């Protein structure tokens, strides 16, 4: 990343996921989450993946990294196309385990929700960062250590030389997440997957980490898939937003239009359930919640999976067939049988 310091505009597509399905075999029966998810991530772009727990957003990211359980417990179908340096693309799902290992931490890397447990407690921070370099770059231990030092500096850790020999439990949660980021950036990945990286952190630290990610993206031009259920964070960091419900994409749009005019009732409900300071005094102090629960993945409701919780639901319309993902114009995709009527009624 050190070499490519020019500001990164959103550029060509680096990752294209097509029709991704993950099936888990459980004692109670097969569970399919996600079911047919497609999206693209472009250079310098941040795609936010939003949804309640159980919506399949984490599994989607793990499937891209091929970190889901091995068959027969879990099957992944579809395509995960990653652009390589030569300009071609390869399907990660068709790589051998060893080929995939070379991709992980090198072309795509990932950071996780729990910085407290995501670092190995018995190895020093420096050793863990150096490890990420060692298995992808042909460098000696001294060079790897120097690189680790530079990375710690890059992610804004004070006294980086001293921290190299620290153990994870000596660092605060925010510091550990910075270490995780340093580790993920060790080999200049094209795509960084961040799975709720700020959920476990204090609000002030949260903001710092978000700012750091944005700054690093500016410098390196990596694409970021940012998984979260916090819409405030989405507004802060995302270029494009993808809302998932029960394993399917229900709405996908650029962040501005989506927040201004959510078209799928679920997204609208999510947005209404966010506390908004600007509206607190303006006659709408009460927060709304979406009634009911995420459906049991073993007993998905027929038709639109959201219909049992949806206040716009019409029997015969919403509970028969799964609505298609339609383009409402301007690359605003949504999955709702009644979106036109609802939009008309609203205006």
Partner 1 sequence: MPVDRIDELGGRPEPEQTLHVNRNRALRRFLRHRLAILGTVTIAVLVIACAIGPYITPFDHLFIDIRSRFQPPVSGAHVFGTDEMGRDLLSRLMMAGRVSLTIGFAAMMLSTIFGTLVGAVAGYYGRKTGAVLMRFVDAVLCFPNIFLLLTLAAFIQPSLMTITIIIAATSWMEVARVVEGQLRSLRERDFAVAAEMIGAPNSHIMFKELLPNAVAPIVVAATLTVARAILMESYISFLGYGIQPPEPSWGNMLNNAQQYLNSAPWLAIFPGLMITLAVTSFNFLGDGLRDALDPRLEV
Partner 2 sequence: MTRFLLSRLWQSLVLLLLVSMIGFAVLHLAPGGPLSQFALSPGVTQEQIERIKEQMGLNRPLPVQYLDWAGHLVIGDWGKSFRDGQPVLVVIGQHLSATLQLMVSSTLLAVALGTWVGVLGAIRRYSLFDYLATVGAMVALSIPTFWFGLVTIYIFSVELAWLPAGNMYTIGDGSLLDYLHHLIAPCLVLGLVTVAIWSRYMRSSMLDVIHQDYIRTARAKGVPERVILWRHAIRNALLPMITIAGLQLPTLLSGALVTETVFTWPGMGRLFLDSLSYRDYPVVMGILMFSAVLVLVGNLLADILYAVTDPRIRLD
Which one of 2, 5, 67, 298 is in contact with partner 2 (CB under 8 A)? 67
Angle between helices 173-184 and 203-220 (to 10 degrees): 20
Query: CB 66 → partner 1: shortest distance, Å?
Result: 9
Q: How far is the CB of 33 from partner 1 (least distance, A)?
A: 6
Is 109 near partner 2 (CB under 8 A)? Answer: yes
Please state the closest distance from residue 78 (CB atom) to partner 2, in A. 20
Residue placing its CB nearer to partner 2 in the complex, 125 or 333: 125
Task: Give the residue with the Cβ less far from partner 1, 33 or 183.
Answer: 33
Tokens of 272: 């209404």
Residue 58 CA to chain centroid, in angstroms?
7
Choose between 24 and 135: whose C-beta lies nearer to partner 1.
Answer: 24
> Is 28 among the residues that bind partner 1 (CB under 8 A)?
yes
3-state secondary structure 44-104: CCEEEEECCCCCCHHHHHHHHCCCCCCCCCEEEEEEEEEECCCCCEEEHHHCCHHHHHHHE
Pick from partner 1, partner 2, none: which does 122 bind, CB < 5 to 8 A by kind?
partner 2
Asked if residue 112 binds partner 2 (CB under 8 A), the reply is: yes
Sign of CA dihedral 98, 102, 103, 108: positive
Determine the Cα–Cα distance for residues 77 and 94; give it in Å rounded to an integer.
10
Considering the complex, state which of residue 120 and residue 172 has its C-beta at the smaller distance from partner 2: 120
CB of residue 10 to partner 2, shortest distance in Å: 25
Among 52, 131, 188, 326, binds partner 2 (CB under 8 A): 131
Beta bridge partners of 20: 37
Quick one: 177 or 206, whose CB is closer to partner 2?
177
Residue 304 Cβ vs partner 2, minimum distance, rounded to whole Å: 33
CB 245 within 8 A of CB 55: yes
For residue 67, state whether it binds partner 1 (rule: CB under 8 A). yes
DSSP string, 140-204: -HHHHHHHHHHHHHHTT-SSHHHHTT--GGGS-HHHHHHHHHHHHTTT--SEEEEESTTTTS-HH
Site string for partner 1, 8-27 (x = CB under 8 A): ----------------x-x-
Beta-bridge mates of residue 327: 333
Residue 9 or 28: the one with the smaller Cβ distance to partner 1 is 28
Q: Minimal CA–CA distance to 74: which of 90, 48, 56? A: 56
Residues 204-243 that bind partner 1 (CB under 8 A): none
Q: Considering the rule CB under 8 A, would residue 184 count as an interface residue with partner 2?
A: yes
Whether 38 contacts 15, CB under 8 Å: no
62 is an interface residue for partner 1 by CB under 8 A: yes
Chain residues 293-312 in contact with partner 1, contact rule CB under 8 A:
294, 296-297
Among 48, 151, 183, 250, indicate the residue that binds partner 2 (CB under 8 A). Answer: 183
By CB under 8 A, is residue 106 in contact with partner 2?
Answer: yes
User: Do 4 and 220 contact (CB within 8 A), yes or no?
Assistant: yes
Cα dihedral 201/204/206/207 (nearest 10): 180
3-state secondary structure of 346: helix
**Chain centre distance of CA 75:** 20
Residue 128 binds to partner 1 (criterion: CB under 8 A): no
Enumerate binding residues for partner 2 (CB under 8 A).
65, 67, 97, 101-106, 109-110, 112, 114, 117-123, 131-132, 135-136, 167, 169-170, 180, 183-184, 186
Enumerate binding residues for partner 1 (CB under 8 A).
24, 26, 28, 31, 33, 53-54, 58-59, 62, 67-70, 74, 294, 296-297
């Amino acid at each position: 990343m050190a070499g490519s310091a020019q500001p990164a505009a959103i550029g060509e597509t680096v990752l294209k996921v097509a029709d991704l399905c993950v099936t888990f075999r459980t004692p109670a029966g097969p569970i399919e989450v996600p079911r047919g998810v497609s999206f693209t991530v472009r250079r310098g772009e941040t795609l936010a993946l939003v949804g309640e727990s159980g919506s399949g957003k984490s599994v989607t990211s793990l499937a891209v990294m091929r970190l889901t359980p091995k068959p027969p417990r879990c099957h992944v179908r579809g395509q995960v196309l990653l652009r390589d340096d030569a300009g071609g693309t390869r399907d990660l799902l068709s790589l051998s385990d060893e080929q995939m290992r070379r991709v992980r931490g090198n072309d795509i890397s990932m950071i996780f929700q729990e910085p407290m447990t995501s670092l190995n407690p018995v190895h020093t921070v420096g050793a863990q960062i150096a490890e990420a370099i060692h298995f992808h770059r042909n460098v000696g231990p001294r060079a790897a250590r120097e690189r680790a030092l530079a990375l710690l500096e890059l992610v804004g850790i004070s006294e980086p030389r001293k921290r190299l020999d620290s153990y994870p439990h000596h660092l605060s949660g925010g510091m550990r997440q910075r270490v995780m980021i340093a580790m993920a950036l060790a080999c200049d990945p094209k795509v960084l997957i961040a799975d709720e990286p700020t959920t476990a952190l204090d609000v002030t630290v949260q903001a710092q980490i978000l700012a750091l990610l944005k700054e690093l993206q500016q410098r390196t031009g990596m694409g970021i898939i940012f998984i979260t259920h916090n819409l405030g964070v989405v507004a802060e960091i995302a270029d494009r937003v993808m809302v998932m419900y029960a394993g399917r994409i229900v709405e996908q749009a650029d962040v501005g239009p989506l927040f201004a005019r959510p078209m799928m009732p679920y997204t609208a409900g999510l947005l209404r359930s966010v506390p908004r300071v600007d509206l607190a005094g303006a006659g709408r102090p009460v927060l709304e919640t979406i009634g009911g629960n995420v459906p049991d993945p073993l007993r998905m409701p027929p038709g639109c999976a959201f219909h049992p919780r949806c206040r716009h639901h019409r029997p015969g319309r919403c509970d028969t067939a799964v609505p298609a993902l339609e383009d409402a114009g301007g690359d605003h995709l949504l999955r709702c049988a009644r979106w036109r009527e609802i939009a008309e009624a609203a205006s």
